[in-house]
Amino acid sequence: MIIPPLPTPFDSKGYLDSEAFRALAQAVEPHVDGLLFYGSNGEGVHLSKDERRAGLAAQSPTKPVWVGLMEETLAQAQVALEEAAALGARSLVTPPRYYESQLGTEGFLNYYRTLAETGKGEIWLYHVPQNTKVQLPLPVIAELSKHPGITGIKDSSGDLARMAFYASQKLSLELYTGSAPNFLGALALGAKGGIMAVANLAPKPYKMLLSAWQAGKIAEAQALQNRLEPFGRGLAAGGVVLLKQALRHLGLPGGYPRPPYGAESPAWASFKPILEEFRAEGWTVA
């Protein structure tokens, strides 16, 4: 499966644009296998509780859905979990981070187990240390994988050694990567697909790569990975600012990042020709 972490559109003054959010989801969904709301590229950490609720209320997805939970306490996370469950979504959960050094192994385990035992949908672990600055310990992941309510993990670290650990331990988790530059390597180590920012713009070639890998066409998959390398690395370097700028360029309602983050990325000049090349290939969503 190829799944985009959908951006959350804000208007030029920084207000949530729920109608644009709905329109963006409807424009992208036909091209992909599911949607993630409020992931790292969804700026979930920038939303108030009321905005989170309003954004989800605007949605009517027909494909599988994930909702990001990036909270600091169980009380906060349980509210967000209820909202995700109301949409029929799996919850993609980062570990608490501000006081992470005081959590310890038992703290991590308690946080995720408590959420899983609410019965409010499936819990997925979300490892994204480049944003959270937290390394979700491998022994913790192995232990949590035994819980029947914890069913998947998205690892965005790009660390193939971690992927190799998951494969060697035969964890009972659906494994997805968030790293487009290492997509093929992750597939070789057991990932079932990608939940990647690139899927907002050009999911087609990544679906082609996944199909080639699944069909045993290794050379074809490798050639595609090589072709996609500058695109994946360029977007990763520019982050959500570049992603939203690229969506606007394609005529899609990506909106703007919430202030103080700027509307334009310094990486745009180098990324735009790659995006235009992909559009000429018929690979972009618009």
Question: pLDDT tens for residues 138-160?
Answer: 999 999 999 999 999 999 999 99
Taking all residues of the chain, what is their mean pLDDT, rounded to a whole number? 93
What is the Cα–Cα distance from 34 to 64, expressed in whole angstroms? 5
Q: Please say if the pLDDT value at position 194 is more than 90.
A: yes
Cβ atoms < 10 Å from Cβ of 86: 14
Residue 98 pLDDT? 80
CA angle 119, 111, 160 (to 5 degrees): 100
Phi, psi of 30 (to 5 degrees): -60, -20
* Among 91, 72, 71, 96, residue whose Cα is nearest residue 81: 91
Neighbours of 23 (CB within 10 A): 15
Tell me what the mean pLDDT of segment 75-80 comes to: 89
- Is the separation of the CB atoms in 50 and 19 below 8 Å? no
Share of the chain above pLDDT 70, in %: 100
Residue 64 backbone dihedrals phi, psi, to 5 degrees: -55, 145
Closest by CA to 165, choosing from 184, 141, 135, 132, is 141
- Beta bridge partners, 175, equal 153
Q: In which band, very low, low, confident or very high, does the pLDDT at 44 lie, cut at 50, 70 and 90?
A: confident
Q: Please tell me the pTM assigned to this model.
A: 0.92
pLDDT at 1 (0 to 100): 95
pLDDT band at 244 (very low <50, low <70, confident <90, very high): very high
What distance in Å separates the CA atoms of residue 102 and residue 104, rounded to the nearest whole number? 6
Q: What is the pLDDT of residue 61?
A: 94
Q: What are phi and psi of 251, to 5 degrees?
A: 85, 15
Is 178 in contact with 196 (CB distance < 8 Å)?
A: yes
N-terminal to C-terminal alpha carbon distance within the chain: 20
Closest CA to 156 of 138, 174, 123, 182: 182
